[in-house]
């Protein structure tokens, strides 16, 4: 299979060029010497904006790091325990983003409120940098579930349900005017309750408003996202919109169908970076997949080369709900026959007679 030359790292150059502004120091107070009450500390505009943006602020020393659970180009992720309350959380330690960009991420997280979106708790400030605190999701990543072939049979109903969960989260994000821009199976977490999993969309470090508003940027010189899931228009440096998220979602669906890695050597691509639909459908893992044909069609449609040919998330949600209703029929209502009802009445009458005899 032909190996494609896909960029191996993401760049924020064009974003930083758009949003770069004079960095404001995180000093807490300033003194106005011309004021009669100059001895009273007055909060700076930067501090007021920061407090409004992040809500709850903590010190890094307030937490004990339990284990490192993830690492990426822009951040390391830790499972932590708040010393005072023993509450388990997740701390994302940013390492490659500007202060402006991390603050934008926190502002976005604080505004989002949906069961399929990672819940924001607060932020830590360390070395004049914001580090988000979020809920701890106990079921690992979708990618780990997909690739754990030996332990997880991954039944059809579960595949459809998790796909619907992710689509609902992405639909909510788009309805609020945001693009994720780094949607992939590593950024979909699983909340486990008993034997049931719920998918939660996470990692909004690259999320932004419609990037087409950045008219003066030379965005064709850089790419944003994780390469194997990037839409062709992003990889080619062209203008893009929310349909780029749809493409990334489509590759995740291809992972769910085939249980293969998103690497082009595993899930075949065309020379233009779009999904090679014919070759994908011929994979033994796809031919033998328990997913219904309509689900495989949806995965391929979301991964089309032309953005306008990809469905939006409202359509994706409707299609998945229909598939879910077909794949997971409602539990049948237990009907009581006249024989069972008669037997139940006889039992009640017998119990009443026994009680009457005992009383006498």
Q: Which residues are catalytic?
A: 182
Q: Is 83 annotated as a binding residue?
A: no
Q: Are 224 and 181 in contact (CB under 8 A)?
A: yes
Annotated binding site for ATP: 92
Q: Which residues are annotated as a binding site?
A: 92
């Amino acid at each position: 299979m032909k190996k494609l030359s896909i960029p191996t790292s993401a760049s924020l150059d064009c974003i930083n060029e758009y949003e770069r502004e004079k960095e404001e120091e995180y000093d807490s107070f300033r003194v106005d010497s011309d004021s009669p009450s100059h001895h009273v500390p007055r909060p700076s505009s930067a501090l007021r904006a920061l407090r409004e943006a992040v809500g709850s602020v903590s010190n890094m020393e307030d937490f004990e790091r339990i284990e490192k659970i993830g690492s990426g180009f822009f951040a390391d992720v830790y499972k932590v325990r708040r010393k005072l309350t023993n509450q388990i959380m997740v701390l994302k330690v940013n390492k490659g983003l500007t202060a402006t960009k991390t603050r934008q991420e926190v502002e976005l997280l604080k505004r989002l409120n949906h069961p399929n979106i990672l819940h924001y708790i607060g932020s830590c400030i360390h070395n004049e940098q914001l580090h988000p605190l979020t809920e701890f999701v106990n079921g690992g990543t979708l990618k780990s579930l997909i690739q754990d072939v030996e332990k997880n049979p991954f039944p059809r109903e579960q595949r459809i349900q998790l796909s619907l969960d992710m689509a609902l989260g992405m639909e909510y994000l788009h309805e609020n005017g945001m693009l994720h821009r780094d949607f992939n199976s590593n950024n979909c977490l699983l909340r486990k309750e008993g034997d049931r999993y719920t998918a939660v969309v996470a990692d909004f470090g690259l999320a932004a408003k419609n990037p087409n508003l950045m008219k003066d940027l030379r965005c064709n010189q850089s790419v944003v996202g994780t390469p194997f899931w990037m839409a062709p228009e992003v990889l080619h440096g062209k203008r893009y919109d929310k349909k780029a998220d749809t493409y990334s979602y489509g590759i995740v669906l291809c992972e769910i169908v085939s249980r293969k890695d998103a690497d082009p050597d595993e899930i075949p691509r065309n020379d233009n970076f779009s999904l090679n639909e014919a070759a994908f459908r011929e994979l033994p893992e796809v031919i033998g997949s328990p997913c219904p044909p309509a689900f495989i069609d949806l995965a391929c449609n979301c991964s089309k080369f032309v953005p306008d040919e990809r469905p939006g998330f409202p359509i994706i949600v409707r299609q998945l709900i229909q598939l879910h209703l077909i794949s997971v029929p409602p539990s049948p209502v237990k009907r009581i026959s006249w024989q069972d009802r008669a037997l139940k009445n006889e039992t009640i009458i017998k119990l009443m007679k026994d009680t009457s005899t005992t009383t006498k």
